[in-house]
């Protein structure tokens, strides 16, 4: 495992000042419309509840394929994310489309199970047809300072995934400090992550802009060293279009235009889709919001 020692701590005040600058950017109407559609195309629409049924998964898949029956010309969403048991159902309804099927695995959301079970669950999800795997790291081992354990576990999961894209969830709300988040990001990237992801959405705080900026900087430093792109997925806590646009400004100014696509950036925020649709409807109807009754609750 590489040495992840840093010669400096993360400057939290500096991070917060940069966030303020991102949030103060003025966005013209034409650019805003492009940004709203881009954000919509980057959403991983998620249903990860104990009450999930095949019919619920079917409904979520339909929304990913048809975000609005009223507004024409909208992009499909990036992916539908489900538990492994529902992968086959999602695959059935999303066939012949560009919408990916992502599956959580490795004892989501806690990660508190053995490596053997994590590997079996990951393989099961892939055998069912998953295009992407969202795994969770062992936060307890990380917080104990057992970084080699975390690195080796991610590497083992990636070995099972092969060419299937692996998103590694840090659960940043449990890592406490920006220094920890940077270290966990580096470990995940060097262990083989194709994406790094903030949160499961089950723990608060979930995604925040300072946390995401620190993770973007880890991706940037790795790209400078290796010329290898790593994706980013902030998840949880991003519920409105204004915030999504601020994230896109931060993404563009930190990593550049190569990352401004759903191949390299995702939002794990299902409720965000509805607000984006409301804002896009407002643009269509010259500043008038259409009723929320036209938007599904999922």
Q: Is 88 a residue of the active site? A: no
Rg of the chain taking only CA atoms, in angstroms: 19
Active-site residue, 32 included? no
Q: Is 134 a catalytic residue?
A: yes
Coil, strand or helix at 48: coil
- Which one of the listed residues 44, 134, 186, 275 is annotated catalytic? 134
- Stated as kind and residue range, the H or E segment containing 105 is strand 100-105
Residue identified by tokens 């959580």 is 104
DSSP H helices, 192-235, are 209-226
CA distance 155 to 56: 33
b/e string for 120-131 if b means 16 or more Cβ within 10 A?
Answer: ebbbebbebbbb
Interatomic CA distance for residues 138 and 196, integer angstroms:
14
Q: Classify burial at 290, counting beta carbons within 10 Å of its beta carbon; exposed 0-12, middle 13-18, buried 19 or more.
A: middle
Phi, psi torsion values for 252, nearest 5 degrees = -65, -40
Residue tagged active-site, from 44, 183, 233, 275 = 233
Residues with active-site annotation = 134, 197, 233
């Amino acid at each position: 495992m590489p040495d992840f020692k840093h010669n400096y701590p993360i400057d939290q005040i500096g991070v917060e000042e940069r966030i303020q600058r991102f949030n103060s950017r003025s966005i013209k109407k034409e650019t805003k419309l492009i940004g709203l559609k881009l954000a919509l195309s980057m959403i991983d629409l998620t249903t990860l509840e104990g009450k999930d049924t095949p019919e619920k998964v079917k409904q979520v898949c339909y929304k990913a394929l048809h975000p609005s029956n009223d507004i024409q010309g909208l992009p499909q969403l990036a992916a539908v994310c489900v538990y492994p048991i529902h992968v086959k159902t999602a695959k059935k309804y999303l066939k012949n489309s560009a919408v990916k099927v992502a599956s959580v695995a490795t004892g989501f959301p806690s990660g508190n199970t053995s490596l053997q079970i994590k590997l079996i669950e990951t393989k099961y999800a892939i055998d069912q047809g998953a295009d992407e795997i969202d795994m969770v790291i062992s936060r307890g081992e990380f917080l104990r300072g057992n970084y080699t354990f975390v690195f080796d576990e991610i590497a083992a999961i990636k070995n099972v995934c092969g060419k299937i894209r692996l998103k590694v969830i840090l659960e940043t709300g449990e890592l406490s400090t920006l220094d920890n988040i940077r270290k966990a990001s580096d470990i995940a990237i060097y262990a083989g992550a194709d994406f790094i992801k903030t949160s499961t959405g089950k723990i608060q705080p979930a995604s925040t802009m300072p946390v995401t900026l620190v993770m973007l900087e880890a991706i940037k430093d790795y790209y400078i060293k290796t010329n290898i792109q790593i994706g980013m997925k902030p998840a949880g806590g991003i519920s409105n279009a204004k915030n999504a646009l601020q994230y896109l400004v931060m993404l563009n100014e930190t990593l550049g235009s190569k990352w401004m696509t759903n191949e390299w950036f995702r939002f794990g925020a299902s409720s965000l889709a509805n607000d984006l649709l409301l804002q896009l409807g407002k643009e269509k109807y010259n500043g008038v919001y259409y009723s929320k009754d036209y938007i599904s609750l999922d």
